[in-house]
Amino acid sequence: DTAVSQTPKYLVTQMGNDKSIKCEQNLGHDTMYWYKQDSKKFLKIMFSYNNKELIINETVPNRFSPKSPDKAHLNLHINSLELGDSAVYFCASSPPGAGGTEAFFGQGTRLTVV
């Protein structure tokens, strides 16, 4: 029973292509995220959705467009891929709560742009 699942796990594509990464969580969480981990392992938040609504949008090129069809899914679509987009992308979710709550992470999607 995978809590947060991402597909695909690996993605190799050419510059200029458009690709999507899918994320699903079966934890009943309201909030979902996309993080980017670069080659130096630095993790940076890209987007956050709460109940299908965008609540955090960091300084991310508009070639990246998240889509949340329902609160259990948050997909990431990337247009016109560039070499610098190569990274590991992590989806995560967290439960509702008045206090801070931890995020549960997927296994990551390693994107390689050639």
Partner 1 sequence: AQSVTQPDIHITVSEGASLELRCNYSYGATPYLFWYVQSPGQGLQLLLKYFSGDTLVQGIKGFEAEFKRSQSSFNLRKPSVHWSDAAEYFCALGYQKVTFGIGTKLQVIP
Q: Give contact residues for partner 1 (rule: CB under 8 A).
A: 4, 31, 40-45, 48, 50, 55-56, 90, 92, 94, 99-108
d(CA 107, CA 32): 14
Give the nearer residue to partner 1 in terms of CB position, either 14 or 98.
98
CB of 59 to partner 1, least distance (A): 13
Instruction: Give dist(CA 49, CA 62) in Å, integer.
Output: 16
CB of 16 to partner 1, least distance (A): 28
Q: How far is the CB of 5 from partner 1 (least distance, A)?
A: 10
CA 27 to CA 30: how far, in whole Å? Answer: 9
Handedness of CA 109, 72, 64, 42 (dihedral sign): negative
Residue with Cβ nearer partner 1 (92 or 113): 92
Nearer to partner 1, 53 or 82 (CB): 53
Write down the least CB distance from residue 102 to partner 1, Å.
5
What DSSP element (H or E) covers 40?
none
Backbone angles phi, psi at 68, to 5 degrees: -120, 95
- In this complex, which beta carbon is closest to partner 1, that of residue 69 or of residue 100? 100
